[in-house]
């Protein structure tokens, strides 16, 4: 455990971004149009400073994992902010030119402030060392997105999607909070490092109560990552929200959810899940298979491209669950990405965020009768009218398919390779089969873009920020495809740093039995080594 001053020193990026969010909200109340426009620049500046602080500051309890994820969240969050720059103008009555500006009808400050607060929540998940902290961070990630969905467009679909999203989110929060309560009841502590020491102690291990708590926590977090059985909201919410907000939902809550699962599984199993908790291994195996097949099968049945990408997001969650299971296995200690499922997930999260951003940004530029264009019919002949945007869509979609040598191929290779290295050959084969199924609907997007006559009812909106985000995303996909070395090294470093973090808490309270007539207590560390003995009185004082 860290003392308060040390912990605060690790939170400067989050503190900075929270202050910027409050400033953005206050400036957004100004009656002056130019000041409300400045909220976008202030938010972008805050993300840049937060990224610098995260890269140069003190590591959190999760070590290099927190540094890696915080920097990644800030940088991709900056790209998401750029893509969403025009959302408040499209969804509110912000009138330019010689018409009157009505400050009561705009919400730029609120929208960008909530966007920043959701990013803060995801960053806090990456550095969490306590169940209470983890719960609050997860809710901070989700709560602003409910408002962002509801206010992102004028269509009645937006508030309808927000209501569905909110109630299912509340149910999921209750489930994983109940799981956290059971974990606390089983261990007598909310500190994740102390829980790890208890679970690693062969005299105590993981009780049935703790196992039930872990199962409930995993199922509840499935909502954040859009995994079966908590996936039902995804298609409706992705379709109902404005396209840039959909892009945000596809990355930020998913990232927070996977970081949470990584932290919990490390605490519970020490990456020896097959040996320590075969029930959890079976649960993750089932979740991965169902999530892949449900996502890809339902995507095949859609005519709405946003719904296709929503179910695609579910399928990609299944792929990453394969890496999570492999990363929690005995092969995770390897220094090569094909043997390290945890590092493969960290790499794939970044790649997926960039690929998704490009595809959704292009889709968000298309309008039919003033509304967002969403169907395959709306994409017809885009290459004939706007070849650059069609190229961006093709690059990002082919990368999502896993076509070599694009970065999506390398991401899937690392995920599936780690599963094979961990002994899950059958699961890896099922994942590759699902990737082949996904090629059908991804290639359908490319085909209708390049091999159909243009749809004259669809126009391309002149939104410079969204166009820039699309171009930058395609460029990032190409760069990551050809020169992924630094990102691979960073993901391996983050995974290795997290796995070897010296979780050295004060000796936890024994759960199954109280020591009798002993002057000292011995507790196992992260890798099974015995920690220095402490007297019984010192242990009780520490607790």
Mean pLDDT of 163-170: 92
Among 370, 294, 279, CA closest to 328: 279
Helices (H), 204-340: 208-225, 234-240, 243-269, 273-276, 278-300, 305-327
DSSP lists the bridge partners of residue 368 as 371, 458
| d(C-alpha 100, C-alpha 399), whole Å | 45
Look at residue 520 and tell me whether its pLDDT is greater than 50. Answer: no
Residues forming a β-bridge with 459: 367
* Averaged pLDDT for residues 294-319: 94
* Range from 25-39, 287-301, 505-519 that averages highest in pLDDT: 287-301
Average pLDDT over residues 233-250: 92
Distance of CA 357 to the CA centre of its chain: 13
Q: What is the pTM of this model?
A: 0.86
| Residue 178, pLDDT above cutoff 90 | yes
Taking the alpha carbons at both ends of the chain, their separation in whole angstroms is 11
Band of pLDDT at residue 86, cut at 50, 70 and 90: confident
Q: How crowded is residue 504: how many other Cβ atoms within 10 Å of its Cβ?
A: 13
* CA 103 to each of CA 11, 96, 216, 492: distance values in angstroms, whole numbers, following the listed order: 34, 12, 45, 49
Name the residue with higher pLDDT: 142 or 35. Answer: 142
Q: Give the C-alpha separation, 103 to 466, whole Å.
A: 24
| Domain residue spans of the chain | 300-501
Rounded Cα–Cα distance for residues 393 and 447 (Å):
11
Residues in the chain: 543
pLDDT band at 170 (very low <50, low <70, confident <90, very high): very high
Q: Residue 255: its pLDDT value, please?
A: 95
Q: Please state, in angstroms and as integers, the Cα–Cα distance from residue 26 to each residue in 40, 112, 119, 371, following that order.
A: 13, 11, 19, 30
Which residue's entry shows tokens 């969804």?
Answer: 91
Q: Cα torsion at 56, 59, 60, 66 (round to 10°)?
A: 70
Q: What is the pLDDT of residues 346-386, one digit of tens each?
A: 999 999 999 999 999 999 898 887 778 888 988 998 998 89
Over residues 244-256, the mean pLDDT reads 94
**What pLDDT, on the 0 to 100 scale, is given for residue 90?**
63
Q: Is the pLDDT of residue 504 over 70?
A: no
Contacts of 322 (CB under 8 A, 6+ apart): 288, 292, 341, 415, 416, 418, 419, 424, 427, 428, 431
Decide if 239 contacts 306 (C-beta within 8 A): yes
Give the number of other CB atoms < 10 A from CB of residue 21: 24
| pLDDT tens string 308-345 | 999 999 999 999 999 988 875 444 444 566 778 888 99
Sign of dihedral through CA atoms 265, 266, 271, 273? negative
């Amino acid at each position: 455990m860290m003392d308060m001053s040390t912990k605060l020193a690790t939170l400067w990026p989050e503190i900075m971004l929270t202050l910027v969010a409050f400033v953005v909200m206050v400036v957004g109340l100004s009656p002056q149009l130019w000041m409300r426009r400045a909220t976008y620049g202030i938010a972008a500046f805050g993300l840049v400073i937060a990224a610098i602080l995260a890269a140069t500051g003190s590591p959190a309890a999760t070590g290099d994992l927190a540094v890696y994820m915080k920097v990644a969240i800030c940088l991709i969050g900056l790209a998401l902010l750029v893509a969403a720059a025009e959302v408040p103008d499209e969804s509110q009555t912000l009138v330019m030119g010689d018409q009157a500006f009505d400050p009561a009808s705009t919400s730029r400050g609120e929208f960008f402030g909530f966007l920043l607060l959701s990013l803060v929540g995801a960053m806090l998940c990456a550095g969490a060392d306590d169940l209470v902290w983890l719960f609050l961070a997860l809710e901070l990630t989700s709560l602003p997105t409910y408002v962002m969905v509801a206010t992102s467009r004028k269509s009645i679909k937006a508030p309808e999607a927000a209501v569905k999203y909110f109630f299912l989110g509340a149910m999921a929060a209750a489930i994983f909070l109940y799981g956290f309560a059971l974990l606390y009841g089983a261990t007598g502590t909310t500190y994740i490092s102390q829980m790890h020491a208890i679970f690693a102690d062969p005299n105590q291990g993981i009780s049935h109560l703790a196992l039930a708590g872990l199962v409930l926590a995993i199922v509840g977090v499935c909502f954040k990552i859009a995994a079966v059985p908590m996936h039902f909201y995804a298609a409706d919410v992705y379709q109902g929200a404005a396209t840039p907000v959909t892009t945000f939902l596809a990355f930020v809550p998913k990232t927070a959810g996977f970081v949470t699962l990584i932290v919990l599984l490390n605490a519970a199993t020490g990456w020896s899940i097959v040996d320590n908790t075969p029930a959890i291994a079976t649960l993750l195996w089932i979740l991965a298979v169902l999530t892949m097949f449900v996502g890809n099968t339902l995507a095949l049945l859609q005519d709405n491209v946003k719904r296709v990408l929503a179910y695609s997001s579910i399928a990609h969650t299944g792929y990453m669950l394969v890496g999570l299971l492999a990363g929690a296995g005995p092969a995770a200690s390897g220094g090569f990405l094909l043997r390290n499922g945890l590092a493969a997930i960290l790499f794939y999260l970044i790649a997926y965020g960039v690929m998704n951003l490009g595809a959704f940004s292009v889709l968000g530029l298309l309008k039919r009768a003033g509304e967002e264009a969403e169907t395959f019919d709306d994409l017809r002949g885009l290459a004939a009218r706007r070849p650059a945007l069609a190229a961006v869509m093709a690059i990002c979609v082919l990368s999502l398919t896993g076509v070599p040598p694009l970065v999506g191929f390398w991401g899937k290779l690392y995920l599936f390779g780690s599963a094979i290295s961990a002994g899950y050959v059958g699961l890896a084969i099922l994942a590759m089969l699902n990737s082949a199924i996904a090629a059908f609907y991804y290639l359908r997007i490319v085909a209708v873009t390049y091999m159909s006559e243009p749809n004259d009812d669809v126009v391309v909106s002149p939104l410079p920020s969204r166009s820039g985000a699309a171009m930058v995303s395609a460029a990032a996909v190409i760069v990551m495809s050809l020169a992924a070395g630094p990102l691979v090294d960073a993901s391996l470093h983050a995974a290795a740093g997290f796995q070897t973090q010296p979780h050295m808490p004060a000796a936890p309270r024994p759960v199954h039995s109280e020591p009798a007539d002993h002057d000292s207590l011995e507790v196992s560390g992260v890798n099974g080594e015995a920690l220095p003995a402490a007297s019984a009185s010192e242990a009780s004082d520490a607790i």
